[in-house]
A and B are shown apart, each in its own frame.
Chain A
Amino acid sequence: MSGQLTPEQSARLIELVGEAIQQEDAAAVERSFNDFQRGMAALRADFDPGRLQEAPEGGAND
């Protein structure tokens, strides 16, 4: 997601904190959620068990 919250996401937050606070927090929540999603995208890119097993993980190379 980038940009504004979807109506479904806004509704979920209104249910949690009420409409006034949801509006007050919306921009900061969007930024935080975008950051979170970037972290998850990087995680999905990193999570390749096949590739990781080929890396020299865990083997002592002293």
Chain B
Amino acid sequence: MTEAWELGIAEASGFLRRGELSAAELVESVIGRLEATEDAVHAWAYVDRDGARNAARSADNSAARGGFLGLLHGIPLGVKDVIDVRGMPAEGGSSALKGRVASDDAGVVRHLRRNGAVILGKTVTHEFAFGQGTPPSKNPWGAERYAGGSSIGSGVAVAVGSAPGALGTDTGGSVRNPASVNGLVGLKATAGLVDGSGVLNVSHTLDHIGPIARSAADCAAMLRGMVGPENAARLPEMVLPQAMPALTRVAVDRGAWAEWEVTPEVDAVLEQALVVLQGLGVEVVEVSLPELKMALPASLAISLSESVEHHRELLAGSADKYLRGTRIMIETGALVPREDVQFAHQVRSYLRASLRTAMDNAGVQALVSPTLPSIAPIEADMSHSLTGSTGKDSLSSALMMLSPANLTGMPGLSIPCGFAGGQPVGMHFLGREFAEADLLGIAHVYEKHTSWHARVPVRR
């Protein structure tokens, strides 16, 4: 029999709405799962059991009076520890902020609460979301392997079932990358769609808050609950299709895959996924987009230089408490010449226009690629350098395919599409601005005809 913690958001919401499950029961089950797994996977930085139980009771009381707030009503969620939740520790994974407690909710958390969500706690992050160091969270598919980052705890928590969904932040792929290595769905929505206030930023022009969940439908439910009333009109009602919409067309740039050194095993999984998409009626066309490789260096120029201003005050008193790797990234940012930043912004404008035109010309809804060029590397063998040359086991290579979405503001979605060497492989869709519903719709129909997303939560 399925236990409540195994339910996805959309499924649990149905049970709650029909009165077949209470929010208190759901939260209790999820807390039980958390307690059964946490010693092994270390996904959480802080858990507010009492607060979650109280919020669940309140949700049940409200539902009993007919006040059902939507798909997230009574659903427990995790929040990456760079996003403020009032009254909870807000340390950003850093000793430099030890003891800091958030005095207010981040904008996105306010919206989640308004839509009925129960905030269960804070999930582990790489320090200040820079991807440096080795947080304690473990990949449930192989404890020695990279578990993704920087939203590492969010991915692991959702993968093992200690939350049905969690928020991450994504400056160059940090939602989609942990989604991929944990066998989950991760979305970086269009720039500006989700309120970014109340976040410890790496880069205010590249950071995006995004959901990590176990299905496209769950991701859609989270996104709907994350968007504030001021932006609701930009997100069309998301009724996910049961069959692939007519004239669905996606593009692939296999030349870029080769240049990014996609491994043969990942390549084979993607090719098979494309065959499945074609079988569902998706037309796949080949394009060549040499400009894609410009996104990562331009993103680094912008993000590292912007990070300096976000950390100047804290570094002044606590530089010795930062991880050395994080500090070196920020110091590198301080050396980036102004003309390089200006040039990177030129590239950004160019890429935004060029990718839009390319998608118009090809008549496609999305550009499809592997999310990562290889399966999750062995953590100990990985290079965490952001500025160094790419190799299949480097953090830089993990960002190559993902950073165009951050730089251009276009939405990016990663979904599980198979396994290689026992590890999940992600398929990435780069879409048109504010066309999240198109991407989630394609993903939803793909999920209905495959079983990859059903491999989570991982039992251990």
- By a beta-carbon cutoff of 8 Å, the part of chain A in contact with chain B is 5, 9, 12-13, 16-18, 21-22, 25, 28-29, 32-33, 35-36, 38-40, 42-44, 46-47, 49, 52, 55-62
CB atoms of B331 and A17 under 8 A apart: yes
B359: Cβ under 8 A from any A Cβ = yes
CB of A62 within 8 A of CB of B286, answer yes
Q: Closest B residue to A42 by CB, please name it.
A: B297
Q: Measured between alpha carbons, how far is A51 from B362 in the docked complex, in Å?
A: 19
Q: Please, which residues of chain B bring their CB within 8 A of the CB of A13?
A: 331, 334-335
Interface flag for B298 (CB, 8 Å):
yes
Contact A25 B290 (CB under 8 A): no
Nearest 3 Cβ contacts at the A-B interface? A58-B358, A60-B285, A39-B297
CB < 8 Å neighbour of B287 from A28, A35, A39, A59: A59
Assembled-state Cα–Cα distance A16/B317 (Å): 10
Q: Report if A47-B332 is in contact (Cβ < 8 Å); known contacts: A16-B312, A57-B358, A61-B286.
A: no
Say whether B329 contacts A57, CB under 8 Å: no
**24 A/B residue pairs, CB under 8 Å, sorted by A:** A13-B331, A13-B334, A17-B327, A21-B319, A29-B328, A29-B332, A35-B385, A36-B301, A39-B297, A39-B387, A44-B343, A46-B290, A46-B293, A47-B346, A47-B350, A49-B350, A57-B289, A58-B362, A59-B287, A60-B251, A60-B285, A60-B364, A61-B288, A62-B284
Contact status B387-A21, CB under 8 Å: no
Q: A32-B329, A35-B388, A39-B387 in contact; A52/B290 too (CB < 8 A)?
A: yes
Contact B289 A39 (CB under 8 A): no
Q: Are B286 and A16 in contact (CB under 8 A)?
A: no
In the complex, what residue of chain A is closest to B388 when comparing beta carbons?
A: A35
Q: Could you tell me if B362 and A25 are in contact, using CB atoms closer than 8 angstroms?
A: no
B295: min CB distance to chain A, Å? 10
Q: Verify if B347 is at the interface (C-beta below 8 Å from A).
A: yes
B interface residues, Cβ below 8 angstroms from A: 251, 283-291, 293-294, 296-298, 300-301, 304, 308, 312, 315-316, 319-320, 324, 327-332, 334-336, 340, 343-344, 346-347, 350, 354, 357-364, 385, 387-389
Contact in complex: B330, A16 (CB < 8 Å): yes
Rounded to whole angstroms, the CA-CA distance of A52 and B291 in the bound complex is: 7
Chain B residue numbers with a CB within 8 Å of A25 are 324, 327-328, 331
Q: Which residues of B contact A55 (CB under 8 A)?
A: 288, 290
- Bound CA–CA A12/B315 (angstroms): 13
Chain A residues in 8 Å Cβ range of B300: 36, 39
Shortest CB distance A43–B (Å): 4
For the complex, what is the distance from the CA of A5 to the CA of B328, rounded to whole Å?
Answer: 14
Assuming the contacts A18-B319, A32-B328, A43-B347, asked whether A60 and B297 have C-beta atoms less than 8 A apart, the reply is no
In the complex, chain A residues whose CB is within 8 Å of the CB of B354: 52, 57-58
Report A-chain residues with C-beta under 8 Å of the C-beta of B331. 13, 16-17, 22, 25, 29, 32
**A12 engages B334 (CB within 8 Å):** yes
